[in-house]
Amino acid sequence: MPRRRSDSPSSSTAPRNRTPQPVRVRRRSFGDFVKAFLAFVALLVLLVGVPLALAMTAGWPFPDTFEPMEWLKQDISVSTFLSILTFIVWLAWAQFTACVLVEMKAALSGVGVPGRVPGAGPSQLLARQLVAALLLVGATAASFTPSLAQLGQTYDDNQRPTVAAAQQTPGLFAQQQEQAAGTAAAVAEQASHTEAAPAAKKQGDTKFYRIQPPEGRHHDSLWEIAERHLGDGRRYKEIFELNKDRVQPDGSRLNEASLIRPGWIMEMPGDARGGDLVEMPDDAPEVSPEVRQQISDYAKTGDGASGGGDHAQGSGSGGGTAQVNVPEQRPAPAGGTGHADLRRPAPEQVATPAQDSSSFGLPEALLAAPLLAAGLLGALGHRRRQALWQSAFGGIGGRRGMEPPTPTGDALDVQDALLVGADPEGVRLLDRSLRGLAASLAAESRPLPTVYAAWLSNGDLHLQLAQPSGKPPAPWQLGQDQTFWMLARADAGSYEDVDTAAPYPGLVSLGTMDDSRLLLNLESVPGIVSLSGREEDRAAVFASVAAELATNGWSDRMTITLVGFGEDLTALAPSRLRHLDGIEALIETMEAETRQRRGALGAAGHDSVLTGRTGPAQHTRWAPHLVLLAAEPSPDDAMTLAELAADASRLGIGYLVGTGSGDLPGAAWEMEITGAGKLLAPLLGLELDAQLLPAAQQRAVVELFTESDPERSPDGPGTTPPFLVDISEQGRPAVYARLVGAYEIIGLETPDGERSALLHEALALLLLHREGVHPRVLSSALWPRGVTDDVREALIGRLRDWLGTDPDGSPRLRTDDTGRLTLAKSVVSDLDVLRSLYHEATQGKGVDSRAVRGRLLTDALVLVRGPLLADRPEGRYRWLTHEIVDAQLPLLVADTGLALAEFHLEKGRAEKAIEALNAALRTAPSDERLWNELLRATHALDDPARLTALASDLVARGGARGLPPRTEALLDELLPTWRDAVAAAG
């Protein structure tokens, strides 16, 4: 969709005047030289004068002899006290000297942030200010000593690989497309201006900025430069584009927005303002001749001097660089250009579904998280089915109930939000696309490329690779550059389920930017991902990440370790999630696992988990292990984690660590969550609407899962249906719908026109949810791709008119106190009657009357005409995939058949029992209990040939899996010779 443009003229998104304006640079004043001289004198006194004075007056701090026991026996005198005080002064001098050395090294190297000297906060600050003042007048030195800067960088890399990797990791999304319409407009204006009058631009119209050494702060960054001189840090991309790949005075080039060096020249946009900007060329006498010549030479490299190379140039520079960009959405090239159509249409050319404008009080966080909602909804359905099956097959006594608890309050709102927000089709396409890609690469004997992130944009899938990996297998295409592989949504539909391991199970949603959703591959990050911000905001991000990783549909196996939060979240997926009490336990665990994975990779001959994940081995040890640490580690623990994470991406281990200060040692990628729900990483070019799971929604989600846990209560699911029907003659309904089998409605006229199918589907949804249906759940079920409020309200009005009113004048379609739609008791389905008959036979009047029980069970079984909504049209009723009624109905029919068979066998009527069991098997053909009871009823006929024929039928149905253990044991008891008899029968 087109990006919104602010109306404010001062907004950073507004077009800017790009006419160059001369700006005088601030000259080095006499005061600057005085400050530098005083700083030199102060450093000389503190570094040389202090130790000389101490040595002459108080002596060296070291004792003449080393005899600790003798020291302890001496009396404490004034001399002893002075010796201790002298030692402390010597120690303070040594600490300050170390601070000066650290700051001097960082200033001369021009790379990275100065290291921290333990316990030297004020001392290091003083040293930083003195060093900065001393180097202020000699800032040009950095540009004349490139070899020194490179040497310092290499030394730092060798000595501290983890921290160096963190400092030098290129910016995630560093070259992404413009985030604001104004920035794009400014670039477009500049391009059009250049095309219209290429010769009009002169050197004198251009402004330049020279990267400064640190001066009492961190090193210069493009973000800070843009913030000071352009008024908006997000405009750093304009500076980057103006200077990308141009030769700098030291011979190097700018190819990553996060890596700049003191002494480099930056051409600035025409509307730049403020000090430190240099006008060009001849009217800047305050600039030294050398610098003036450097700027003049640099200016000659601009204005397309490089030949207008492709924007993707340098995208693959250096292995392992993380240049993850927002996928560009550009129109395809015009015909006849000779270029393949490798890009999707622009966003404004893609039709997007209309959405409801009101949330009706449902949690917005889950409504805006379709992949997370789909995972939670699928896991919740699985948990509820598990409870049903365990209740049916786990106990000797048979059924203990089949009705899951009906959520209330926040849990009900969250369940509705999951139903509305879930995008199971998107999850299915993502899973099939990734597995299909892995299968295609394996067929070509090609390794999986390292993927840093995935973008879902208007249904298309863009994978951002760590480095170019050649041409992707069809139907994948190259995207906007060599580091993008793109799959169109239409092509993704061609993939079928394949038997291969999930290639990128560590992908997890972080949020959205415009119409694109970002999934970060946590296990591929070259180090730690840090998350700063307020504790409650960080907790919402951590909970969202943990919940999606635990329940997503594009993963197989994985381990997710939670530290400092989320002990209750383990209920979502006990097999995936585990909680550790503290950082010490985490470090001990991860040290052991890191050693084990390194050894396993070496033994298998793989260089990374990717080469072993989808190959012939496909060993379970290649499943990822993702660590989510919400508690801020101490500096020592942080360095230990950084050392472990230095090799983690190769081993399939990922770290997401929270920090309140925003400064985490060893962090490769740094992110911040704001109170407004924005996920920011300025140096990485990242600004997302964060995906969150706030505390209230987290508790409600956990409640849904714990209430559905089959192990939570020995009674299992409830035994009372949510809606009981008056089954007497007086309880005849006004509207009766047959859902079990072919769909049929009695008591209403069939609506005319094309809306009939929609009204029937809406009524079926309401009949299956007698507790009520939220209007947004109804609309999302009928229109999964979205619908406007007026269309939904029109449907509800037509449905209300169609159902009519009861004799007392009350409408049969009503709205309860919570705003949910409910049906009157006069509107009944055969499923309601079936549940009521079985309940009355087993827990009501049938308990005390055998005749009543037999009649009720017989009437119930007569209602069963086939599966639920057997004749539903293609493409409709997709919401049934979220329901558990497809598991409830077969179990209910099986229970009814078993109860009726038992009723007949009590009187020796084996044929009647067999008839009842066969009727139940038509709806529940895979229920082992029915087959076992059928064997017993057939055995009661005392007809070995008929029992053998039934055994042969069962063996044929079992196929290669064979008979279930209980059935096989039962046959051994009833017909010991069944194996020989079945073999003889062929």
Q: Is the pLDDT of residue 749 over 70?
A: yes
Average pLDDT of span 948-972: 87
Higher-confidence residue of 952 and 608: namely 952
Check residue 703 and give its pLDDT: 93
Residue 408 reports pLDDT greater than 90: no
Average pLDDT over residues 129-138: 68
pLDDT tier, 740 (very low <50, low <70, confident <90, very high otherwise): very high
Residue 123 has a pLDDT of 75
Of 335-344, 364-373, 530-539, 853-862, the one with minimum mean pLDDT is 335-344
Most distant CA pair in the chain: distance in Å?
117
CA dist 753 and 760 (Å) reads 12
User: Which among 223, 234, 229 is positioned nearest to 269, based on CA atoms?
Assistant: 229
- For the stretch 842-869, what's the b/e string if a residue is b when 16 or more beta carbons lie within 10 angstroms of its beta carbon? bebebeeeeeebbebbbbbbebbeebbb
Which band of pLDDT confidence, cut at 50, 70 and 90, is reported for residue 140?
A: very low
Q: What's the whole-number mean pLDDT along residues 395-402? A: 46
Q: Are 805 and 823 in contact (CB under 8 A)?
A: no
Instruction: Say yes or no to pLDDT of 165 above 60.
Output: no
Report residue 616's pLDDT band, with 50, 70 and 90 as the boundaries. Answer: low
pLDDT above 70 for 584: yes
Q: Is the pLDDT of residue 25 over 70?
A: no
Q: Which residues contact 144 (CB under 8 A, 6 or more apart)?
A: 263, 290
Mean pLDDT computed over 654-658: 94
| Backbone CA torsion sign across 906, 909, 915, 918 | positive
Phi, psi of 289 (to 5 degrees): -60, -40
In this predicted structure, the answer to whether residue 521 has a pLDDT above a threshold of 60 is yes
pLDDT surpasses 50 at 666:
yes
Task: With residue 87 as reference, give the H or E element that holds it.
Answer: helix 78-109
Of residues 615, 618, 275, the one with CA closest to residue 446: 615
Task: Compute CA distances 378 → 372, 452, 501, whole Å.
Answer: 10, 26, 20
The chain-wide mean pLDDT, for the chain, equals 77
| Spatial separation of the C-alpha atoms in residues 733 and 725, rounded to whole Å | 9
Mean pLDDT (whole number) for 147-160? 33
Tell me the pLDDT tens digit for each residue of 348-389.
333 333 344 444 578 899 999 999 999 999 999 988 888 887
Of 70-74, 201-205, 698-702, 868-872, the least confident: 201-205
Tokens of 662: 């925003």
Give the length of the chain.
Answer: 986
